[in-house]
Amino acid sequence: MNTVLLESKEPNPSDLIWSERLKVDFDVNKMHEFLEGSKKNSIEMMKLMQQIERDPILNVNAEYYEMSKNEHRELTAQKIARLAKYIENDAPDFETFQNRLNMIAVVDPQLGTRIGVHLGLFLGALKGNGTEDQFNYWAIERGALYMRGIYGCFAMTEMAHGSNVAGLETTATFNKEKNTIIINTPHVGATKWWIGGAAHSATHTVCYARLISDGKDYGVKTFMVPLRDSNHELCPGVSIGDIGAKMGRDGIDNGWIQFSNVEIPKEYMLSKFTTIDEDGEVVDPPLAQLAYGALLGGRVTMVTDSFRTSERFITIALRYSVGRRQFASKGEKIENQLINYPLHQRRLIPYLSWTYGMAIASEEIQQFYKQILQELDDGVKSGDFDKLKVAIDNLKMLFGNSASLKSTCTWTALSLIDECRQSCGGHGYSSYSGFAKGFTDHAVQCTWEGDNNVLAQNSGRITIQKTIAYLKSNKAPKGDYSFISESSKKGEILNKSNIINLDKLLEAYDAILYRISLDCISSLEKNGNDWDAISSEKLALSKLYSVRYILSKWIAKMQTLQKDNGNIAKYLVKLAQVFAFSNIETFGSWFLQFGVISNDDFKSLKTEHDKLLLELRSQVIGLTDSFKFSNFFINSTLGSFNGDIYNDYLKVVKTQDKQFGGKAPYSEVLEKMLNRGSVEEREHGQKSEEVLEKLSN
Amino acid sequence: MNTVLLESKEPNPSDLIWSERLKVDFDVNKMHEFLEGSKKNSIEMMKLMQQIERDPILNVNAEYYEMSKNEHRELTAQKIARLAKYIENDAPDFETFQNRLNMIAVVDPQLGTRIGVHLGLFLGALKGNGTEDQFNYWAIERGALYMRGIYGCFAMTEMAHGSNVAGLETTATFNKEKNTIIINTPHVGATKWWIGGAAHSATHTVCYARLISDGKDYGVKTFMVPLRDSNHELCPGVSIGDIGAKMGRDGIDNGWIQFSNVEIPKEYMLSKFTTIDEDGEVVDPPLAQLAYGALLGGRVTMVTDSFRTSERFITIALRYSVGRRQFASKGEKIENQLINYPLHQRRLIPYLSWTYGMAIASEEIQQFYKQILQELDDGVKSGDFDKLKVAIDNLKMLFGNSASLKSTCTWTALSLIDECRQSCGGHGYSSYSGFAKGFTDHAVQCTWEGDNNVLAQNSGRITIQKTIAYLKSNKAPKGDYSFISESSKKGEILNKSNIINLDKLLEAYDAILYRISLDCISSLEKNGNDWDAISSEKLALSKLYSVRYILSKWIAKMQTLQKDNGNIAKYLVKLAQVFAFSNIETFGSWFLQFGVISNDDFKSLKTEHDKLLLELRSQVIGLTDSFKFSNFFINSTLGSFNGDIYNDYLKVVKTQDKQFGGKAPYSEVLEKMLNRGSVEEREHGQKSEEVLEKLSN
């Protein structure tokens, strides 16, 4: 409580938030279970969160928003060392450790990445490309699995090659005489670049390089290359530097690496799939594509990241929208809460629905990924080719689904963060609101591990190809593409009377995907199969595929709810409708152009949409409380559970202000400026009439 | 040149850019004159740029991207002191100084803001609200105009009140006995917040506070309040702190201020419009609205800022798109340049067209603003009420135009920066590319000096009101709203055969604005005049109004081109068409829903759009060279004139890497982790079977 003069009235954001909390119309615990997939998951997640927020080294607070690059790096290293102990403790249950990492990434994404590079990329590549013996030596015997002895990085990207992995130019030349391989960076463009952990940390790397044997180029393979010795000093021929400041994630020591004829034993080539015999012949079995399976894990994780990040930021924005008043309506004395404005509802609630949608997508794709890894393992171990074929088909499906979902969800989360920031007005621009770092940290998700635009092209192409195959065979595709069907070819699917029916809405998405595909096929026939010419269509297809994927899984998941569901079904349906509606509006020109909905009914959809938003408006506190993010995970002056926005904010600002009440260190510069003499004085009057008179004689 | 092994080939981005430069098909100098408005402006701008980039203190380079908040603040103070000398030198030509500031803001936006707050807001408010004598004393006699003696800040926003200025809660209570005014902050929500320059710099502020006299509240007025004395120490009753870290613009010392019954002489009230007589009666003439005229300058400047910022970032992205190769087309050995991909053209060239459009908008609105200030000055001085009425009508028009253009252009520039960043792949995420700071610095433009969503609501409302007035009077509105006409009510405006005709395209925008307005009017009739219910329509109207405004001025400006125009007309037409097309696509669901174009013709528009993009593709180097931004103003490793991307980038990274070749300062933390013993060792084997056996007995 502050000293307040009698006649004034302090704003009361806490009251506002608490009075809405009392009106929550469903069981928040049950909603959390729905979001996490099960009661068991819900409890597990809460345990992990408690462990993280209580840990003194993993701690994060407002100070985090003030740190310099060097401070972030040092702190991140300390946290890595701390987590090395958790991984020993969690082992062999790596799923728990992965969940732990995912939650840490919510408040400290750079830390998540640092460890993700080692465990996910470095060890993932080792597991995907190396033999069992190779994995056992480096990961177990040498301790990499527990971040002991070995810290790895992943040297794939080069300065001049990002998305096009097959075009990498680092060479790995087999030396038959010495039975060694020479790793070399031929020119500046082939410098390994963006390599997380390389600048200061990694002792080893999995290096992607073109295998050359007897002058023949066998394409890009993977090699274990030591970078630093046990004194943490660079190995000869290895040049490494820091690539410096980035938009975000400063705690990651991304580096560049140039190899100048670095010699490694032949046995350091990862050889689950590729081997070199004594004569230098390279044997490359057809299953090498399986090696990429492990790398898809990164894309899958990013769907989860997008979901968790969205949970955090939509909570902040919606709490603020309830606690903040601005402008009084006509005739009113008290100003209106932001959330009462229909435009504010339209800006935020569709993103809330996306967050719920991403929860479903995240769980589905995680499960599918785990299933495939198991199938692959079983298939390889048993040598059963039928099993392997199923696994490979599923892997292909995952490739397409993850391409669409990774790109769509990371983009959505990025625009969600910025819309949430803008919705908090000026205060959203304060670092302590969390949005600034949230945005800059998340931004890279749209680019790394498959540039979003490139991935979206892949996904769009797959939908078209599935449609082509369907038209040829007249057989419905399997799995997630089974929606492709002649029945959605023509006519208006949605109309005024069926517009809130979720099945009908799903049908509308089936139809739009099919019709755009047909249109693309006809373009391809006319343009001589120029796939680049239909790139904006492919982009739309990829985004729409994600929406359809989520909506279909959402509807299916609703079926599994029990009758006694604490009234969550009611709001899940409304959120699903908002999700479907808002995306039809976003892609409105496609839905109208292809006649999935008529111009008149498009207007009705908007009206229904507004009605739903109003119905959800009273539940926004409950729908975000359901995420169960404590203040630690929110880490924002604007979004704490109690919602005492203004006092929280002033307190943080005062704590962070090291010069409070005093002068700034640079005050002298300003004082000198303010107290300077006039131009005439400073120039000894050398432009005065008197002087000019003198000078003219 | 680097040492390169014989058989390898370095990438050649410079060659690629220079060979495109040789193919430029128009006179780049003439294009610059078009963009700047005249040959004279073009030359003036180049002179200013030369002065800025040569100045040792105003210098900006890659180091700039590494600075901490404190370093930015100190450097900014030094630059302010430097610019104080330029303003003395430029005086009395403040237009030149303003142009200088606008160009400085391209590379150092925080510096632009720091001085903008003093000159634009503080002195603007003094000029707008103070009497001539008051202005003369504070600005001239005391030296504020030259940043001598007085450094001002602008205490409007409060913690709980941003956009709603009329709701501010700081009080200014008239004390009749002492003939003084007491300034007080009643509670935490009324703390002045976000006040640029307050934390460490300002000696005075123009404070917005509610004037209370004899218990009566006269609403928000303005007061000159001293904050610091000549020793730069805080005055009694004045509490000031730093509001700390922000998303960007760290060089600005935004502060908070609490006044605890601070007494100022009555004469410190700015009293051009408001006066208090001896009995405490407040006299408030009807022309007080004119006081806001000076504040519109900020919004006008942001249109220019958006234009300049867009010039810079679209140049970087397009140069990179020419110099960078990725993926080879089927059958090709050499990889394709990014710009050759139709999707890449679609991502960037419409933003290039927006940049040209914003050049036109910026010049138009700047001219209009100057004209109005002159009219107001003339009107007030002459006391001619007819003249004043014209000026006030124009001021209202400016209010609407600037609301629409400020919001639309700042939003466009923000998404332009991020799309450009993403189009540069991973390298766009490096701070040295410039995008990161560009984005975070620009982001606040969407919020300050009128939140974009609030402004857009104002603009949308005006269009609807003009339509209502037109329907009542059947008289065409004046000025920029004269397009409102019954003729655009019905039918398809665009079709396959007229689609590239700029006049027809303009007509299509006339029609969409009119039809959405009619639709809103009918909604208002049905919903009992609830303007909030049509807020998404108002938002669309505001954006479409800006597009229409720009397109109409663009067409008009094309008429003024001479025959001998160095072939620039050819490309200006194509850019205008892309501008019109891409925005019809963006707002496609509106154009289709209201039947301005048919579904089939919408498809033709896309085809024409693709054709145009391909035609412009060969000229992107010329069209960005036309901005004449030297490497200093580009300040990006990815976008220098010579385009030696990879060598430029590596050089900067090496220069910035203070630990190159050595260990990081935090290396010990990692080494300790890597060299730690096993869990068993560290725990003295206390979980060994042997121990457990012992413990179980």
Convert the pLDDT of each residue in A567-580 to its tens digit: 999 999 999 999 99
Using CA atoms, how far residue B128 sits from B113, B124, B296, B391, B455, in Å, is 20, 6, 11, 15, 21
Give the gap in angstroms from C-alpha B690 to the nearest C-alpha of chain A. 20
CATH assignment of the domain containing B155: 2.40.110.10
- Secondary element (H or E) of residue A625: helix A620-625
pLDDT above 90: percentage of residues in chain B: 88
Q: Decide if A422 and B599 are in contact by the 8 Å CB cutoff.
A: no
By the 8 A CB rule, do A220 and A188 touch? no
Length of chain A: 697
Could you tell me which of B144, B142, B143 has the C-alpha nearest to residue B154? B144
> Which tokens in the block code for residue B401?
């135009």
Q: Decide if B242 and A457 are in contact by the 8 Å CB cutoff.
A: no
The predicted structure's pLDDT at residue A163: 80
What is the rounded CA–CA span in Å between residue A261 and residue B530?
74
Domain interval for residue A189: 150-291
Option in B2, B661, B674 nearest A149 (CB): B674
Question: Which residues of chain B neighbour A326 with C-beta distances below 8 Å?
Answer: 161-164, 167
B651 touches chain A (CB under 8 A): no
Domain boundary among B233, B262, B291: B291
Same domain, A394 and A541: yes
Provide the number of structural domains found in chain A. Answer: 2
Same domain, A541 and A562: yes
Q: Give the list of residues 6+ apart from residue A110 with CB closer than 8 angstroms, or none.
A: A72, A76, A248, A249, A250, A251, A252, A441
Same domain, B444 and B326: yes
Same domain, A287 and A326: no
The predicted structure's pLDDT at residue A1: 61
- Secondary element (H or E) of residue A184: strand A180-184
> Which tokens in the block code for residue B276?
């208090």
Instruction: Tell me, yes or no, whether A670 lies in a domain.
Output: no
Q: Give the list of residues 6+ apart from residue B352 with CB closer than 8 angstroms, or none.
A: B314, B318, B575, B578, B616, B620, B623, B624
Question: Which residues of chain A neighbour B243 with C-beta distances below 8 Å?
Answer: 430, 653
> Which tokens in the block code for residue A546?
């994600």
List residues bridging with A241 in a β-sheet.
A256
Q: Position B430: which residue type?
A: S
Question: Which residues of chain B neighbour A149 with C-beta distances below 8 Å?
Answer: 674-675
> Which tokens in the block code for residue A514?
């099919």
Q: Point out the catalytic residue in the list A169, A375, A419, A449.
A: A449
Instruction: Tell me, yes or no, whether B481 lies in a domain.
Output: yes
The predicted structure's pLDDT at residue A536: 97
**pLDDT of residue A6 exceeding 60:** no
Could you tell me which of B585, B680, B513, B531 has the C-alpha nearest to residue A590? B585
- Sign of the dihedral defined by the CA atoms of residues B412, B627, B250, B296, in that order: negative
A609 touches chain B (CB under 8 A): no
Active site residues of B: 449
Instruction: Tell me, yes or no, whether B170 lies in a domain.
Output: yes
Residues B15-25 as b or e (16 or more Cβ within 10 Å = b): ebbbebeeebe
**Three-state SS annotation for B184-195:** ECCCHHHCEEEE
By the 8 A CB rule, do A585 and B536 touch? no
Same domain, B644 and B495: yes
**pLDDT of residue A672 exceeding 90:** yes
Same domain, A198 and A257: yes
Question: Which residues of chain B neighbour A5 with C-beta distances below 8 Å?
Answer: 184, 186-187
Option in B77, B342, B447 nearest A425 (CB): B447
List residues bridging with A246 in a β-sheet.
B430
3-state secondary structure of B691: helix
* Residue set of the binding site of A for FAD: 157, 196
Same domain, A184 and A302: no
Q: What is the DSSP string of A446-480?
A: GTSSS-HHHHHHHHHHHHHHHHHHHHHH--PPPGG
Q: Decide if A327 and B163 are in contact by the 8 Å CB cutoff.
A: yes
What is the rounded CA–CA span in Å between residue A268 and residue A281?
17
Instruction: Tell me, yes or no, whether A51 lies in a domain.
Output: no
Same domain, A366 and A496: yes
The predicted structure's pLDDT at residue A332: 83
Alpha helices in B274-341 (DSSP H): 296-323
Q: Decide if B599 and A592 are in contact by the 8 Å CB cutoff.
A: yes
Give the gap in angstroms from C-alpha A534 to the nearest C-alpha of chain B. 8
By the 8 A CB rule, do B525 and B550 touch? no
List residues bridging with B242 in a β-sheet.
B255
The predicted structure's pLDDT at residue B5: 66
Could you tell me which of A333, A323, A319, A328 has the C-alpha nearest to residue A16? A323
Burial status of residue B693 (CB atoms within 10 A of its CB: 0-12, 13-18, 19 or more): exposed
Residue A41 pLDDT class (50, 70, 90 cuts): very high
CATH assignment of the domain containing B462: 1.20.140.10
Question: A384-396 pLDDT, tens per residue?
Answer: 888 889 998 999 9
The predicted structure's pLDDT at residue B640: 97
Question: Which residues of chain B neighbour A69 with C-beta distances below 8 Å?
Answer: 66
Same domain, B279 and B196: yes
Question: Which residues of chain B neighbour A422 with C-beta distances below 8 Å?
Answer: 446-447, 451-453
Residue A104 pLDDT class (50, 70, 90 cuts): very high
Mutation target vs A (from B8, B414, B429, B610; most A CBs, 10 A cutoff): B429
Q: Decide if A343 and B535 are in contact by the 8 Å CB cutoff.
A: yes
Q: Give the list of residues 6+ apart from residue B129 with CB closer than 8 angstroms, or none.
A: B206, B221, B222, B270, B271, B272, B273, B291
Size of interface A-B (CB pairs under 8 A): 389
Q: Give the list of residues 6+ apart from residue B199 with CB closer than 8 angstroms, or none.
A: A664, B240, B241, B242, B243, B253, B254, B255
Same domain, B305 and B205: no
- Sign of the dihedral defined by the CA atoms of residues B520, B525, B527, B528, in that order: positive
The arithmetic mean of pLDDT across residues A47-66, rounded, is 96
Chain A from 248 to 307: CB within 8 A of any B CB: 248, 253, 256
By the 8 A CB rule, do A590 and A545 touch? no
Option in A425, A667, A672 nearest B162 (CB): A425
Q: Decide if B232 and A84 are in contact by the 8 Å CB cutoff.
A: no
Instruction: Tell me, yes or no, whether A97 lies in a domain.
Output: no
Residue A124 pLDDT class (50, 70, 90 cuts): very high
Chain A from 556 to 595: CB within 8 A of any B CB: 585, 588-589, 591-595
The predicted structure's pLDDT at residue A289: 66
Option in A343, A448, A533 nearest B453 (CB): A343
Question: Which residues of chain A neighbour B200 with C-beta distances below 8 Å?
Answer: 659, 663-664, 666-667, 670
**pLDDT of residue A610 exceeding 60:** yes
The predicted structure's pLDDT at residue B289: 66
Q: Give the list of residues 6+ apart from residue A492 with CB closer than 8 angstroms, or none.
A: A595, A596, A597, A598, A601
By the 8 A CB rule, do B428 and B435 touch? yes
Q: Position A93: which residue type?
A: D
Instruction: Tell me, yes or no, whether B681 lies in a domain.
Output: no
As a whole number of Å, the end-to-end CA separation of chain B is 76
Q: Decide if B341 and A149 are in contact by the 8 Å CB cutoff.
A: no
Residue A288 pLDDT class (50, 70, 90 cuts): low
Residue A226: cis peptide before it, omega within 30 degrees of 0 = no
pLDDT: is B658 or A435 the higher one?
Answer: A435
> Which tokens in the block code for residue A365?
């794709």
Residue A173: phi, psi to the nearest 5?
-100, 125
Q: Decide if A11 and B160 are in contact by the 8 Å CB cutoff.
A: yes
> Which tokens in the block code for residue B215?
């218990």
Q: What is the DSSP letter of B38?
A: S
Length of chain B: 697
Q: Decide if A163 and B428 are in contact by the 8 Å CB cutoff.
A: no
**Inter-helix orientation angle A452-473/A502-526, to 10°:** 90
Residues B306-325 as b or e (16 or more Cβ within 10 Å = b): bbbbbbbbbbbbbbbbbbbb
What is the rounded CA–CA span in Å between residue B58 and residue B104?
8
No. of helices (H) and no. of strands (E), chain A: 24, 11
Q: Decide if B610 and A160 are in contact by the 8 Å CB cutoff.
A: no
Domain boundary among A291, A317, A343: A291
The predicted structure's pLDDT at residue B288: 63
Same domain, A339 and A278: no
Give the gap in angstroms from C-alpha A105 to the nearest C-alpha of chain B. 19
Instruction: Tell me, yes or no, whether A21 lies in a domain.
Output: yes
By the 8 A CB rule, do A437 and A65 touch? yes
How does strand B152-155 pair with strand B204-213?
Answer: parallel
Same domain, A278 and A298: no
Does the structure's ipTM exceed the value 0.85?
A: yes
As a whole number of Å, the end-to-end CA separation of chain A is 76
Give the gap in angstroms from C-alpha B48 to the nearest C-alpha of chain A. 21
- Residues in chain B predicted with pLDDT less than 50, given as ranges, are none
Q: Decide if B159 and A325 are in contact by the 8 Å CB cutoff.
A: no
3-state secondary structure of B263: strand
Question: Which residues of chain A neighbour B652 with C-beta distances below 8 Å?
Answer: 244
Instruction: Tell me, yes or no, whether A104 lies in a domain.
Output: no
Give the gap in angstroms from C-alpha B159 to the nearest C-alpha of chain A. 7
- Is B196 assigned to a binding site? yes
Domain boundary among B291, B314, B339: B291
B425 touches chain A (CB under 8 A): yes
Could you tell me which of B190, B208, B384, B195 has the C-alpha nearest to residue B291? B208
